[in-house]
Structure 1
Amino acid sequence: MSALKPRSSDSNAILKGGTDPFLYNPRRINATQGKPSIVRNEALEFIVIVQNPYVFDLELQSLSLSTSGVPFESNPTSLALAIGSLVIRGCVVQAPGGVPREFVIPLATEEEEERLTHKRSAALCEAGRFKYSGLDNFPWERKNKSRNSGLGSSRSSKTMLFLECKVIPKQPLLRIRRTTVTHGALMLYDGEMSSIRIRFENISPLPIDFVRLTFDDSTITPAQQALAEGELSVFETYETEYALIHRPVFSWIKNDSVAIAPGRKVTLTINCFGKVGCTEGTIHASYSYIHRNPDDDGSAKIPSSVGSEAKHVERLLD
């Protein structure tokens, strides 16, 4: 019955355990999530928002990312030059005639958010006060209090968390060259069989030795929900299960020997079965370079933190 198990969707992650009032908060980190994977020698995009607190214009001579870990080339187009762990600490800003200065941008954890909230509230409270009691009324006592609060924040900065990425070896890149589906639609009668031919092209310098196709259509989710509710009769339950397993909308004869050399093309044929109620479908093409040689990465050894046995698969949608 594993084939009838409902498939998990990305929308379920939004509904589970949401403590943040926003559906998506890019600055909040989840401790259970792993490191995001980035590919070696592929361009990375980071959006850095710089705010000018003055009333006059500021001119910046250079702006680059501050990183630690593996070598990283921070240009207008950033490239990870080696395999391993990459930590994004913040950015380095230099004004004309000045020295470069690093601005650390940690991830906003719950403890960091609470610390910043207390710091802002204390600053607002002190800004609105004009009377102090006892020895706090002396100016030097006020300076000592502000200095002590600064030391507390510097001590807590030792536990700051930064965006940490895992740089994986260079991956192949596959694209859809052409398909036999005109205007992105295919019309079939109920029970009619047809086929779709998709031509893939390997546009990377690495070969592809693993290709797997998975499918999804608009009839699967309603059938799974009807089976989960348990209100169908025995005959209807059998027919629904049989249609899901033995009469899928899309099918493909698996061929484990599919290999695409660099710059080469391959055509795969997908069978289509007409079914009442099917209005849309999705074809997922997963591909990878599994039997990798160490010389293909341009390095003699892969760090143990990455793991030479790890297999990375990319996905293409149609």
Structure 2
Amino acid sequence: MIGHCDMKENTTNRVDVEELRRWKKASNPRMQISKLPEGKLRITANRHDLELDVRFLPGGKVELAFGSRSSTRTYISGETKACGNGQKFAILAASRRHRSKTFPFFDLPAELRVRIYEFVLSERDGYGYVTCIHPDQVGTHAPHGVTGFFVPRAGPFDFLSVNHQMRSEFAVPFFRAVDFDLAKQSAFASDLEKVLCFLQGIGEIGRSNIESLSFVWWMESWRTDHSASQKLAADVSKLIKACKRLEFLGISIPKRKGLGSHKLRSCHFGAACGFSHLRSLHDIRGISIDSPNWKLSEWLMEGVTKPKKDAGTGSSKIS
């Protein structure tokens, strides 16, 4: 948008050059004045869509050109008016930007976004979170990345398909709020290796924030050889120890697997089914062990509830 106007000299309203520089530097830092070719001056302001080019022409004329700095589709509207008995001439220009209807969610402060995620979780109370972890997602080559992949993107959480940033931010309150009960899924009930893949798959964010976890401590290979899969048991225990916020750990040891008090003697506890690695877990405030062998349960609890030098209050349960 370009406008021309005739100017009469008015020395009473002339602004000293040094005064202009001082105003530009201190009084209004949001505005910038730049010199362009052909004697033009460009005036811009932070967070404003329009820019103004001023050029003084011969014959007492001044050219004013308005332009849009918006990256979206724009057009400019304007109006002119004379005032002061012809001594002043004003132009009002406005950018009619086609603004997106998408809410700028990621422009909100991070703390506010977290509060919104927490509100969404509170509204979804009772939703079958564990069913979001389909056994088909858990393979023997689970990713070892930072964010993991066991954050649901279906049902009430379909908004997480927006982008990676939203899933990463949502993961923190998600893992803190959800009770991950893997024992309720049959695919996890007889395969400690899938529990290992789950702990690997939730990534560093998941392990740093998960607060409640339950699963079955069992491998089918232990049915014929209680000394098998010791490394697997050690790896699971190591990842559980990396869950620094874990407040509840529920362990179920299955029945009819040759682990009852008449089958498994106390002298064999340390070498059987990776129980020595399970017994090495400490620093968890609440632990529940459900076992068909009450002596085994007591032996495990003696290990996991060993007092620390400055341990706080904890809780445990044997059944």
Relative contact order, higher structure (CA 8 A, sep 6+): 1
Larger % of strand: which? 1
Answer whether TM exceeds 0.5 for this pair.
no
Q: Scaled by the length of structure 2, what TM-score is found?
A: 0.19
Larger % of helix: which? 2
Larger Rg: 2
